[in-house]
Amino acid sequence: MVGGNGTVGEQGSFWADPQSLDLIRIESQADEIPPCLPLMEMTLNVNYARTRIGEYGVLLAQDAGLHMWKTTGEENYNHLEYTHCRAFSAQSAIRFDSGPQGAAEPLSPDRPKIVSEAGGAGEAVPPFLPIALLLMAPITDRDAVGTLIEARVSGDVVRKGKIVVPDGSLVRGRIRRLERYKAAEFVVGLEFTEVEVNGGSHRFYADLIRMDRRPGIRPTLSEPIVVRSAGGYQNTSQTITLHELPGVASFFVSGKTFTVPSGFRMVWRTRGLVR
């Protein structure tokens, strides 16, 4: 393995939204690479978008790509996706009285606990439950990545005979992805992150398992191709499947413009926690 240590320069560019002035993308390239490094070229691209964390819409990195070409001819590419980002906070108090401390209130078995990377805790919808959602407002090709979206829970969500998410509960999220795939095809990604239950906000972490059958809306895309064989060329087709991201629903929508209508129904299954 050929390696080395050294300091490189950096140059690049950035894009911003002309209306909101939000940062959209940063591109940087390594410059003035010293001869001691077995590196010909390196680029780093980071895309940003608005996401909802609690009651706030904040600008965060959405994905990043690091591309490296070495002098040995080796090429490396790393791609990172950021989903379901969360805010963590802590409160502290100083007391000078010598009174007895109150005993900690035990957690009810019906209230699942999230243990975060930072050691905090919060409420979560229990895992492995199907939840049907209905979009409250249409999504169109004129929307932007980061646009906040809302849905309503359709039907009570029951676990062990008890309702854990009542019918009509509000679910919030954002448009995670919206880009043109071809002249008459779009790729849309939706990410729901929280649900209101009994006046409190709970974490919503789930995967799409099915959705309404509507003309032009489908999870995969079949497109014609021409392949060469021993007998010459023949027409066939290939299926394009979108890369799956945890907690994100990605699908194709046909048309030079499109509208995913309000009331569009999706069924999700909540995920278990990864510890």
Specify the pLDDT at position 105: 54
CA distances in angstroms from 191 to 29, 58, 200, listed in the order given: 31, 15, 20
Specify the pLDDT at position 206: 93
CATH 2.40.128 domain extents, the chain: 113-270
Specify the pLDDT at position 200: 86
**Domain 113-270 is found in CATH 3.40.50:** no
Least Cα distance to 241 among 187, 177, 172 occurs for: 187
Contact 22, 15 (CB under 8 A): no
d(C-alpha 147, C-alpha 77), whole Å = 29
Specify the pLDDT at position 84: 80
Q: What is the mean pLDDT of each run of 10 residues along the chain (275 residues)?
A: 77 90 92 88 90 76 90 90 76 74 53 36 79 96 90 95 94 91 90 90 91 91 77 79 87 93 95 64
Q: What are phi and psi of 32, to 5 degrees?
A: 55, 55
Say which residues have a Cβ less than 8 Å from residue 269's Cβ, sequence separation at least 6.
128, 129, 130, 131, 206, 207, 209
d(C-alpha 248, C-alpha 192), whole Å = 7
The two three-digit tokens of residue 4, written as one number: 């080395």
Least Cα distance to 125 among 80, 158, 154, 101 occurs for: 158
